[in-house]
Amino acid sequence: MYQHVNHATMVTILEEARVAFLREAFAVDITSIGLLIAEVRVTYKAQLRLTDSPLQVTIWTQRLRTVDFTLGYEVRSVHATPDSKPAVLAESQLAAVNIEEQRLVRLSPHHREYLQRWMRQPGNPPRGSDQPGGGVGR
């Protein structure tokens, strides 16, 4: 009807990219440590039309604390030039939780090392294939 990628779809695209990005670090603990979304922010800089698919989602670590971290995202069409401005900027804050005890827990050294490896400042994210799950086709 509208021929653009709507907000609900965009949040799902970000989730799919986030799961692929975090799999390497968190899969080993999947039965004991969960990640809860504390906050999600999506800023639309340009419209993404259905014809712009597939989309490239670039993810990096913006902030790393004891029990939580914030991921940054850029979304653009894979057909866009690499130096083009993203159509969508987003961030999500996630907190580590012990599933059985339902309480916040410290990120393990393994989790922290992985997230630290992808630490970038806003405006200087890694590019597509430089990261795990480098893009999500949609």
Residue 25 maps to a domain: yes
Q: What is the pLDDT of residue 138?
A: 46
Residue range(s) defining the domain that contains residue 36:
7-118
First-last CA distance in the chain: 18
Residues ≥6 apart with Cβ < 8 Å to 105? 33, 67, 96, 97, 98
Mean pLDDT for back-to-back runs of 10 residues, the chain (138 residues): 83 97 94 96 93 92 97 95 92 97 96 96 56 50
Q: What is the pLDDT of residue 121?
A: 66
Q: What is the pLDDT of residue 130?
A: 52
CATH of the domain at 102: 3.10.129.10
Residue 52 maps to a domain: yes
Cα 119 to Cα 50, 112, 113, 131: the distances in Å are 31, 10, 10, 11
